[in-house]
Amino acid sequence: MSNQCHDGDLHRHLCALKEIDFELAYLAALTQEGLKPLSRWEKSLTDDDLKLLQRTGLPTRQVRRTVKTGKEIVETIFSRMPAYIQLYEQTFGNTPIDKSARTQRFEGFFFGYPPCCVNQYIRKPYAPNNLTEQEQKILFHWACRDCKVTPSLLQAYKDAHDLLEHC
């Protein structure tokens, strides 16, 4: 990971986030590193949890959405780039959650998923690929077979994952 992740404060904050949830800390590390343009956390966060996430240097926003039953949920989004947060909120704020191809493509763009993987997932979710189970497990997207982008991401994802495992 970059020198930013060797910064004592950032590392300390990521390790504290790990105490809340490993995946939240992992998303924050990947986003801070720039591997994910924007990340979304769909579980609830307390005000203290949100402040801790912000201490990693990532601007955050909570976006209200609805599910098919009409129940409102709150997503926490975070990015190094405020413009991505604003665009996500304009696109999805106060809208029902849906799994349309259009939405999946937008989300793929926001979350840094290779377009080939997004398109394959839309056509046939969880189609077999060439990754090991462990490699696929550390990704937030389902890689397509013979993807040219995902293999180049794997080492950086592994580095972030390993950093958090040793907090």
For 20, 22, 42, 107, the CA distances from 16, given in Å and listed in that order, are 7, 10, 19, 27
**pLDDT tens-digit map of 46-96:** 999 999 999 999 999 999 999 988 899 999 999 999 999 999 999 999 999
From the list 110, 101, 104, the residue with the least C-alpha distance to 80 is 110
Backbone φ, ψ for residue 34 (5° rounding): 90, 5
Phi-psi region of 94 (alpha: psi -120 to 50; beta: other; left: phi over 0): left
Local confidence band at 7 (pLDDT 50, 70, 90 cut-offs): low
Q: What is the pTM of this model?
A: 0.91
Cβ(66)–Cβ(96) below 8 Å: yes
